[in-house]
């Protein structure tokens, strides 16, 4: 299919998309690692002989992870909007 772009332009677009995907993977990995570290430190303050989390610890972890995921979703949505604006494409929902 002819898109009106040269092979060099298509290669550059593909390279930019690949770099963006790499950045998203790094961002997601960092967010996950921070979430695990911070939620564990906050919710499981001391190691015990018990192999399982107690109810309070599980509740705390659930809430902590939920907050991290909501934040991650908001950041991802904002990044998509900014990328769409930079690319000159319509922003969904606006």
Strand, coil or helix: what is 36?
helix
Q: Give the pLDDT of residue 49.
A: 77
Residue 94 confidence (pLDDT): 57
- pTM for the complete prediction? 0.63
- Sorted by where each begins, the domain ranges of the chain are 7-87
Q: Which two tokens stand for residue 4?
A: 């009106």
CATH of 7-87 among 3.20.20.70, 3.20.10.10, 1.10.3720.10, 1.10.287.810: 1.10.287.810
Per-residue pLDDT of the chain (94 residues; tens, 9 = 90+): 455 678 888 888 888 889 989 988 998 899 899 999 999 999 987 777 788 889 999 999 999 999 999 988 898 889 888 888 888 777 666 5
pLDDT per residue over 21-40, tens digit each? Answer: 998 899 889 989 999 999 99
* Sign of torsion over alpha carbons 49, 55, 60, 62: positive
């Amino acid at each position: 299919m002819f898109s009106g772009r040269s092979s060099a332009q298509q290669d550059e677009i593909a390279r930019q998309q690949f770099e963006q995907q790499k950045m998203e993977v790094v961002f997601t990995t960092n967010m996950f690692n921070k979430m695990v570290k911070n939620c564990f430190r906050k919710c499981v303050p001391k190691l015990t002989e018990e192999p399982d989390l107690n109810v309070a610890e599980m509740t705390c972890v659930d809430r902590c992870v939920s907050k991290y995921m909501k934040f991650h979703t908001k950041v991802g949505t904002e990044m998509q909007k900014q990328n769409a604006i930079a690319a000159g494409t319509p922003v969904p929902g606006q």
